[in-house]
Structure 1
Amino acid sequence: MDWLEQINRVMEYIEENLADEISYDKVAKMACCSKYHFSRMFSSIMGITLSQYIRRRRLSLAAFELQNSDIKIIDLAMKYGYSSADSFSRAFYNLHGVNPSIARNNGVQLKAFPKMSFQITIKGDVEMEYRIERLDFEFTVVGVKNTILTEKSFEMVPKIWEEASKTGLVQRLIDMSWEDPQCKLESLLGVVGEQPSITDEKFEYMIGVRYKNKVPEDMEKIVIPKSTWAVFPDVTDAWKRLYTEWLPTSGYELADLPCIECYYAPDHEPKDELWVPIIA
């Protein structure tokens, strides 16, 4: 089964279970990747988070039922996973612009959010450079974590780095950095941590460096085991093209580890790289 077929099977599973509980462990298993990677892949390709998609599809179906049946609003709320009629009504209003009770009236304008499917558009006009790095040792990244909203990540991450520079955190990390380089991960690192759950609309992002000594009290650590990585120049461009161009056609599967952004010294070329864990 190829990548595209796997992902579209996931979309069918979600569609078939909109009125039931959706198992996100099963979603990730069907997609042959971790919950972490599926969540980021979905938002990168679709332009919205998985939780937003599921919510919009459920509220679209709820609107159809309101106009074509006499189902009670509280029963409809329970059917689509809301704990009360009030929480359902608020969500319904946010999408459709009217309350559920009004949606039953003739002539009321509602919004239908269609079922999505994944497709690949082969461009072929700009190549995507990468290399494979195999690290045969465990290493530790130490730094400070920040919470990032998935849909605003390209805005929030640069601001976090800018703030870290102003507060002196960046210089402090540079002073802590590894004195005995073992690999090309000797730089300022942005570790893209796992979402608490597959449908969360935020994730943890650590600004840090590789470090072998005692962890400072105001910092945290992430331990990365022996692993294999696909490495891409230009972090911003790589993120935008990773899930839509490289992964569907590469034949690789993503490993259940964080992705790492590497920001090098000013005279280094390239200036930054994205390290993506893969199954060797």
Structure 2
Amino acid sequence: MLDRLNQAMEHIEDHLDQHIEAAALARITATSEYHFRRLFSSLAGMPLSEYVRRRRLTVAGAEVLAGEPTLLEIAIRYGYTSGEAFARAFRAVHGVGPGEARRTGAALNSQPRLSFRLTVEGNSTMRYRIVEKEAFRVVGKKARVPLIFQGVNPHITEHIRSISPETMLRIAGLSDQDPDGVVSVTVRLSDGFEEGSELDYYHAVVTGAAGEAPRGLDVLECRAGTWAVFENSGPFPQALQQMWGDVAARWMPSNPYEYRPGPEILRTRPSRDAPTESDAQLWIPVTRLRTHESA
């Protein structure tokens, strides 16, 4: 997988002056387009489209400073329909317009080329299991919140505090399957994984109950499918956030599964052995890679 990811990065470099299809990059990595976008943004910390834009404007910046060709020719080469559109994009990345940069030789920003490699640290293992799950519902209270990589998310904390004890009891009483009890469920609203991107967050339970949605509660219908379930223990939320990163950086490149669309479910409980730590289960929707696929 790492070799294929790096081949995809080479494809981007070779086609910066052409239209780059995410589907073509997914074919190189022998994965679905959804998985490629999700894995890339998780590893790179930015959406694929943003990386391509920054690489184009990095290379274009070098041509601007070189003094030739004309600014309009550079703009057209890198896919901009007018000099004005190129100037706006150039200024957004470099903080200065292309004309001024050429006249003054201004210092420009640079987006380095990305490459991926596996770093082995220690001899720790990731505890996981694969679960085939029938269709189910997530039922609880929903809020739209920004993604925060490090530390407690205050928007989620505020949402949970806004739920009355009576409503929490109603929600908890609906739990009837694994993962049991009250859980945190996140639904990504875009393929990007950059900090600040929006999520739909549910403080909810997993249930197989059908029929009318419970009054005053939000419902998310989840189709049947395969889930990779990861477990760890450690200080909250640091250990959990590390586990999320390890799934993308360590587990996905080493196992015959890929991300599929769907909610991610987190179940946390206080650790029995260490009061300041928590035991976590992270449910990630996945699908098994077809063995006939190749790069």
TM bucket (normalised to shorter chain) is 0.7 to 0.9
In structure 2, the CA distance between the partners of 1:273 and 1:70, relative to structure 1 (3 Å rule), is same
Q: TM-score, normalised by structure 2?
A: 0.76
Cα deviation 1:99-128 (Å, max 9, x = unaligned)? 1002223643223333221111121x1513
Asked if residue 182 in structure 1 is aligned to residue 177 in structure 2, the reply is yes
Equivalent residue of 1:105, what SS? helix
Q: Distance in 1 between matches of 2:166 and 2:59?
A: 53
Indicate yes or no: 2:253 matched with 1:258: no
How many pairs were matched up?
273
Counterpart residue type for residue 247 of structure 2 = L
Deviation at 1:158, TM superposition (A): 1.9
Cα deviation for residue 265 of structure 1 reads 4.8
- Give the Cα separation in 2 of the matches to 1:29 and 1:199: 24
Label 1:196 to 1:60 Cα distance change in 2 as closer, same or farther (>3 A): closer
Does residue 1:245 correspond to 2:250, yes or no?
Answer: yes
Give % identity. 24
- 1:31 is aligned to 29
Residues in 1 aligned to 2:105 and 2:67: alpha-carbon distance in whole angstroms: 16
Contact preservation (8 Å) 2:46, 2:192: no
Q: 1:166 to 1:107 in 2, by over 3 A?
A: same
Give the deviation of 1:89 after TM superposition.
1.7
Residues 260 and 275 in structure 1, CA contact (< 8 A), matched pair in contact too:
yes
CA displacement at 1:57 relative to structure 2: 0.6
1:230 matched residue in structure 2: 229
**1:11 CA displacement:** 0.9
- Counting helix residues as a fraction of each chain, which structure ranks higher? 1
Q: In the TM superposition, what whole-angstrom CA distance separates every residue of 1:110-147 from its partner, at most 9, and x where no partner exists?
A: 23333221111121x15133221423421122342525
CA RMSD in angstroms comes to: 3.3
Q: State the 1:248 CA deviation.
A: 2.4
**CA contact under 8 A between 2:100 and 2:106: conserved in structure 1?**
yes
Tell me the alpha carbon deviations over residues 131-179 of structure 1, each in whole angstroms, 9 at most, x when there is no partner. 214234211223425253xxx5325972232111221178635522464
Q: How does 1:117-266 map to 2 (within 5 A)?
A: 117-123=115-121, 125=122, 127-142=124-139, 143-146=141-144, 148=146, 152-154=147-149, 158-168=153-163, 172=167, 175-177=170-172, 179=174, 181-193=176-188, 195=190, 202-207=197-202, 208-211=204-207, 212=209, 213-215=211-213, 216=215, 219-233=218-232, 234-249=239-254, 251-266=255-270
Cα distance per residue 1:240-278 (max 9 Å; x no partner): 2222222223x2322413352323455778543211233
- Match for residue 287 of structure 2? 279
Q: Distance in 2 between matches of 1:73 and 1:169?
A: 60
The answer on whether the counterparts of 1:51 and 1:201 sit within 8 Å (CA) in structure 2 is no
- What CA deviation, in whole Å up to 9, does each residue of 1:193-223 have, x standing for no partner? 3526799983533313324242357734231
Q: Which amino acid aligns with 1:248?
A: P
Q: Do the aligned partners of residues 170 and 239 (structure 1) sit closer, same or farther apart at CA in structure 2, a change above 3 Å counting?
A: farther
In structure 2, stretches of 5+ residues that fail to align are 233-238, 289-295
TM-score normalised by length of structure 1: 0.80
List gaps (5 residues or longer) in structure 1.
none
The structure where strand makes up a greater share of residues is 2
